[in-house]
């Protein structure tokens, strides 16, 4: 599903590894027989099919890609402690992402509250960037892949909802990392077109608010 | 915290690996300076401190233990696909655990609904046991460690709440696995006393319902 930030994680991991893949679009309003067969438990995208075997859940797929093509670009650090830290922050971000969705489904005071809560969570996440270029250190790593969608999607959400979340004043390290991440060619090349994403999110916002 | 099913995961992983450890009890109503220092982000137990470095989140700690003491008992399979499947089921169980908690905080019709929902989730989880002794195959593995607390805690919850969830009729594979898991000496030895757990859960249930 072209507008899904969970799908981009898998494409980024494959591209960083230099693995060729076929992208199959999925209509979530009318799920394909393949999706239901490959991911009968959660019926969600993304699903990676490798040698005929399906793997579901984007964070798990990214770890799988790192382990299955273990000779290439290292997504995870070799050190067990660094790996645990990366998993911790990825998990933190996954648990807190609801705060970001709340901005999308609210207006006025409730939206301001949601934006503030999202900002607090991101401030905590930002501490993992201190003194580093990327969450992974000098190069893009696991956490960068998991939360990297913020860089492209959050400014769109901010524009659609009329709020500011990631500002130079409040989240300077995260804001600077947005710029660095989007300058990585292999990541940039996989991103959906911004205007198309904006239009889709505007339509989705109207739909959510009128529901 | 002796009654925490998340803490038992860490103790089980350490015991399976044969790693000696010091268990430090934590009063969650009055969190220690150590807990706040070692896990400032979520302030939850368990936290493993290894060589002075803290690791938080039980599922992540278990993977860390497997990687840091990688010569001993294999918690995760070596094969990337099997690892991904194990992580998928662990994640599924983590996401669905709210259905189990709902039994605890409800009564009558709402409780029956919660118990039914929990049963449906467990039926899906049970499919991962088909044709196997443990989720890990012939031996206790990652998923067994993550969901193994069901075997000791769920019968207590059933007794406290007056519901049946894991029955021979509805969940035969899971029920049989309960028995096999609790027969593993190294796991059994770490379990909290059943009567004490029952009393604590009765008190907790009363507290939750009167809140």
Q: Where in chain B is the domain with CATH 3.40.30.10?
A: 5-68
Q: What is the pLDDT of residue B40?
A: 96
pLDDT, one tens digit per residue, over B66-79 is 999 998 999 999 99
d(CA B211, CA B206): 9
d(CA B197, CA B153): 8
**Nearest neighbour of B80 by CB, restricted to A68, A85, A124:** A68
**Does the beta-carbon distance from A87 to B63 stay under 8 Å?**
yes
Q: What is the DSSP letter of A192?
A: P
d(CA B119, CA A169): 49
A22: helix, coil or strand? coil
Partners of B134 in the β-ladder: B137
pLDDT, one tens digit per residue, over A40-57 is 999 999 999 999 999 999
d(CA B89, CA B144): 10
pLDDT, one tens digit per residue, over B1-45 is 999 999 999 999 999 999 999 999 999 999 999 999 999 999 999
**Nearest neighbour of B68 by CB, restricted to A42, A63, A80:** A80
**Does the beta-carbon distance from A53 to B83 stay under 8 Å?**
no
**Does the beta-carbon distance from B67 to A55 stay under 8 Å?**
no
pLDDT surpassing 90 at residue A82? yes
**Does the beta-carbon distance from B84 to A61 stay under 8 Å?**
yes
Q: What is the DSSP letter of A134?
A: B
Q: Taking the CA of residue B62 as centre, how many other CA atoms within 13 Å lie in the half-sphere pointing to its CB?
A: 26
- DSSP string computed for chain B: -TT-HHHHHHHHHHHHHT---------TTS--HHHHHH-TTT--S-EEEETTEEEESHHHHHHHHHHHTTTSS-SS-SSHHHHHHHHHHHHHHHHHHHHHHHHHT--HHHHHHHHHHHHHHHHHHHGGGTT-SBTTBSS--HHHHHHTHHHHHHHHHHHHHT---S-TTT-HHHHHHHHHHHT-HHHHTTSPPHHHHHHHHHHHHHHHHH-
Q: What is the pLDDT of residue B172?
A: 98
Q: Taking the CA of residue B77 as centre, how many other CA atoms within 13 Å lie in the half-sphere pointing to its CB?
A: 18
CA distance B185 to chain A (A): 28
Is pLDDT larger for residue B148 or for residue A97? Answer: B148
Cβ–Cβ under 8 Å, residues A25 and A161: no
Best of A80, A97, A98 to substitute, by most chain B Cβ atoms within 10 angstroms, is A80
A80 close contact with B: CB closer than 8 A: yes
Cα angle value A95/B88/B35 (rounded, 5°): 45
B61 close contact with A: CB closer than 8 A: yes
Distances (CA, A) of B173 to B90, B98, B149, B151: 17, 22, 16, 12
Q: Tell me what the mean pLDDT of segment A11-18 comes to.
A: 98
Mean pLDDT of chain B: 96
CATH architecture of B5-68: 3-Layer(aba) Sandwich (3.40)
**Does the beta-carbon distance from A84 to B63 stay under 8 Å?**
yes
Q: What is the pLDDT of residue A211?
A: 83
**Does the beta-carbon distance from B55 to A124 stay under 8 Å?**
no
Q: What is the pLDDT of residue B71?
A: 86
**Does the beta-carbon distance from A63 to B53 stay under 8 Å?**
no
A52 close contact with B: CB closer than 8 A: no
Residue A122: closest C-alpha in chain B? B41
Give the pLDDT band of residue B80 (cuts 50, 70, 90).
Answer: very high
Distances (CA, A) of B209 to A185, A201, B101, B105, B158: 55, 41, 13, 6, 16
Q: Where in chain A is the domain with CATH 1.20.1050.10?
A: 80-210
**Does the beta-carbon distance from B60 to A88 stay under 8 Å?**
yes
**Nearest neighbour of B60 by CB, restricted to A41, A67, A91:** A91
Q: What is the pLDDT of residue B147?
A: 98
Q: What is the pLDDT of residue B125?
A: 97
Q: Taking the CA of residue A138 as centre, how many other CA atoms within 13 Å lie in the half-sphere pointing to its CB?
A: 0
CATH architecture of A80-210: Up-down Bundle (1.20)
Give the pLDDT band of residue B100 (cuts 50, 70, 90).
Answer: confident
% of residues, chain A, pLDDT over 70: 100
B87 close contact with A: CB closer than 8 A: yes
**Nearest neighbour of B88 by CB, restricted to A56, A70, A92:** A56
**Does the beta-carbon distance from B63 to A88 stay under 8 Å?**
no
Residue B51: closest C-alpha in chain A? A81
- Reported for A95-98, long-range contacts at CB under 8 A and 24+ positions apart, including other chains, are A96/A121, A96/A125
A91 close contact with B: CB closer than 8 A: yes
**Does the beta-carbon distance from A64 to B55 stay under 8 Å?**
no
pLDDT surpassing 90 at residue A33? yes
Q: Single out the residue of A87, A97, A182, A195 nearest to residue A143, CA to CA.
A: A87
Task: Work out the end-to-end distance of chain A between its first and last CA atoms, rounded to an integer number of angstroms.
Answer: 22
Residue B68: closest C-alpha in chain A? A80
Q: Tell me what the mean pLDDT of segment A119-127 comes to.
A: 97
This complex has an ipTM of 0.95
pLDDT surpassing 90 at residue B64? yes
Q: What is the pLDDT of residue A71?
A: 86
């Amino acid at each position: 599903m072209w507008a899904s930030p969970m799908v981009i994680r898998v494409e980024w991991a494959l591209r960083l590894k230099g693995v060729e893949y076929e992208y199959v679009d999925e209509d979530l309003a009318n799920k394909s027989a393949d999706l239901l067969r490959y991911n009968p438990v959660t019926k969600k995208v993304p699903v990676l099919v490798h040698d005929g075997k399906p793997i579901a859940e984007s964070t798990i797929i990214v770890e799988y890609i790192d382990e299955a093509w273990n000779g290439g670009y290292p997504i995870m650090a070799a050190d067990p402690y660094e790996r645990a830290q990366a998993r911790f922050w990825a998990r933190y971000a996954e648990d807190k992402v609801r705060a970001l969705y709340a901005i999308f489904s609210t207006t006025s005071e409730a939206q301001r509250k949601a934006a503030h809560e999202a900002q607090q969570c991101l401030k905590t996440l930002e501490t993992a960037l201190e003194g580093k270029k990327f969450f992974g250190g000098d190069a893009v790593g696991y956490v960068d892949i998991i939360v990297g969608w913020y860089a492209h999607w959050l400014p769109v959400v901010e524009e659609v909802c009329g709020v500011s979340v990631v500002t130079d004043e409040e989240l300077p390290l995260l804001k600077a990392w947005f710029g660095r991440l989007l300058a990585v060619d292999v990541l940039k090349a996989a991103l959906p077109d911004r205007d198309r994403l904006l239009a889709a999110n505007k339509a989705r916002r109207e739909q959510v608010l009128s529901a």
